[in-house]
Amino acid sequence: MFFKSLQLKMILLFFAFVLVSLVAVGTFSVLKMEQVYYRGFAEEMLNTISSFGININSIGETEQYEDVNREELEKENLNKIYSNFSAYFSLNNISRSGKILDKDGNVLFSSKNSEITPNMLQCINEAKQNRMGYAVFNDTESQNYLFAYVITHRLENEGEIEYIIVIEQSKDYINTQLNEVRLMYGTAIVIITFIAIIVSVVFASNITRPIDTLTKEAEKIARGDIDQVKFPDKSKSGYEISKLIQTFSDMTMQIKNNLNEISSEKSKFETILLHLTDGVLVFNLQGETIHANLAAKKIFKLKGNEKFEDIFGNYKIDINMEKIIYLDDWTSSEQMVNVGDIFVNMFFAPFRDEKEHAIGVIVVIQDITKQAKLDDMRKEFVANVSHELKTPLTSIKTYTETLLDQEIDKESENRFLNVILTEANRMTRLVSDLLQLTKFDYKKVAWNKVDFDLPVLVKQICEKHKIQAETKNQILDCFVTANVPLVNADRDGIEQVVTNILTNSIKYTPENGNIKVYVGSVHDDAYIKIIDNGIGIPEEDLPRVFERFYRVDKARSREMGGTGLGLPIAKEIIEANGGSIDMKSEVGKGTEVIIKVPLKQL
């Protein structure tokens, strides 16, 4: 990873910058030095030629001397030039050489034996064309600088005399100097490069170290260890890095706050889902379960990550996940199904992201077993009420029509009227019980709670019904087991309950049976226990005996004039007074009813 790191890139960039700068400066310096040597050579040669000027001009002075041999004087002057050149080149014979040519290119003087090269001729031609009369040429083939100077003098009789001075300067010395400079720059480049590498490493490290630290801290955040995040010291970093550290610190703090908020909301959400009585299932686009609360797991008996089709396919529920997700006009679906022994209402709906793209399906499962049972009870209640009213009305109608349409004797007429009266009384009791239950349902009963002596009340009730028990040769006994404190309840309501239970015992206990009533107290309650040895109630019917219109033996109950509402009314009265009623029974052995009434609070 180091080869891709910012630190290496910064080192290489800094190193490349220093190296390129040094090479550029070195190259420029070498070229500049060579130009300086080149120009210096030209200036030096011009100064040298100027020192020969008097001797050359003296050639023209031969016109003054008529008796002097002109050719001899010219040769003498030339010899002076030669001697000057010879003296000059005797001092510079190592690196320089010179020639004097006439206008035809004949060599008049040469400090050393050398040929006239094409580059030398080119330099002479450039000097002739230059109005200044000289030219400098860099002869790269022979590694020499060439200098050509044209001297022109006009004689009166002889016309124009032209001499060409050509000087060669070897570049060995210059090259040696330049090589030394190159070596110096090369050495400097190596040293400075080494220093630059060290400086760039330190410099890049100072910049990247805080970034590396921030990267490691960011990795902690990615792993979820945000509480362990520590930031480098801003005071030891530059302005930009310190700003980055501050920004990163602020960002981390914001992330931490957001995570805490999200965690809190998630905890609330999970707590709500955990204790929600409705089941919630969430599926992704692949149909995999991504969330299921406790209620959903309990309803569908889920063990793992079951898929959408597995859960609902097992119960043969007609639902298609693709339709819910992808069809525009299919936004939700609601179904009521039977799952095992419970009834549930399921609501299917897609859920979407911030771009309104479907990302899954949520299913809300509502347990409506109680509602379904209440609905069944309502239907059964309506059917029972209809039946209970229809039966006596049919009897009344039949006997009344008979009395109206036929002439019957007095005895039959009285018998028919007694039947009509009995059925009318039965209807009256039924309507009265229904009205009383309606008052209980709508909390419209005004209870008159008073303090009274429960044993006295129970004994009075037993005395009232002894004659009814004796008609069936039954033994009805009442026992008070202890000193029972006063109770606080609606006296008339308690009397109605005890009377209802006692009359049921007398009614469903065969002749010569025994009925015992016990009154006592335990803790904060007084109790009334009514025990008979009657026909008893089957165990499977016991949980439903307090339901409205429920009869264990429907035919026999109607025959005995029961409405099926006595026990539900008794339960409503006792519970409204803060007590309870419970029943135990065994077929063929009898029934035991325990009624509890709260004692007076001291």
353 assigned to some structural domain? yes
Same domain, 501 and 570: yes
What pLDDT does residue 454 have? Answer: 92
569 assigned to some structural domain? yes
Same domain, 520 and 403: no
Q: Which of these three, 304, 338, 367, is where a domain ends?
A: 367
Same domain, 316 and 333: yes
Same domain, 358 and 418: no
As for how many domains the chain has, the answer is 3
CA terminus-to-terminus distance, the chain: 85
Same domain, 592 and 459: yes
Same domain, 344 and 383: no
Give the separation between CA 363 and CA 279, rounded to whole angstroms: 8
Residue 461's SS3 state is helix
Same domain, 525 and 451: yes
- Is the distance from CB of 142 to CB of 117 less than 8 angstroms? yes
476: its two tokens: 């009805």
Same domain, 582 and 503: yes
Same domain, 303 and 414: no
What pLDDT does residue 556 have? Answer: 47
Q: Which of these three, 367, 382, 407, is where a domain ends?
A: 367
Same domain, 520 and 468: yes
217 CB burial (10 A radius; 0-12, 13-18, 19+): buried
**Does the CA dihedral 181-186-192-195 come out positive or negative?**
negative
Domain CATH code at residue 304: 3.30.450.20
- Closest by CA position to 593, among listed 503, 470, 501, 497: 501
Q: What is the pLDDT of residues 418-443, one digit of tens each?
A: 888 888 887 787 777 777 777 777 77
What pLDDT does residue 81 have? Answer: 63
Same domain, 285 and 324: yes
What pLDDT does residue 312 have? Answer: 76
Half-sphere exposure of 320 (CA within 13 A, CB side): 5
What pLDDT does residue 234 have? Answer: 58
172 assigned to some structural domain? no
Q: Which of these three, 440, 475, 498, is where a domain ends?
A: 440
404 assigned to some structural domain? yes
Q: Mean pLDDT by 10-residue block, N- to C-terminus, for the chain (602 residues)? A: 58 72 74 73 74 48 48 59 61 68 78 80 86 83 83 62 78 73 78 77 70 72 67 60 72 76 75 74 82 78 76 72 65 66 80 79 81 72 71 81 81 84 80 75 80 92 90 91 88 90 90 92 90 89 80 54 74 90 90 92 74
Domain CATH code at residue 588: 3.30.565.10
Same domain, 542 and 426: no
What pLDDT does residue 89 have? Answer: 58
546 assigned to some structural domain? yes
209 assigned to some structural domain? no
Which residue segment(s) compose the domain that 415 sits in? Answer: 372-440
93 assigned to some structural domain? no
What pLDDT does residue 65 have? Answer: 46
What pLDDT does residue 488 have? Answer: 92
Torsion of CA 450, 456, 460, 463, to 10 degrees: 160
- Is the distance from CB of 163 to CB of 98 less than 8 angstroms? no
Q: What is the pLDDT of residues 368-403, one digit of tens each?
A: 777 777 777 677 667 767 766 777 788 888 888 888
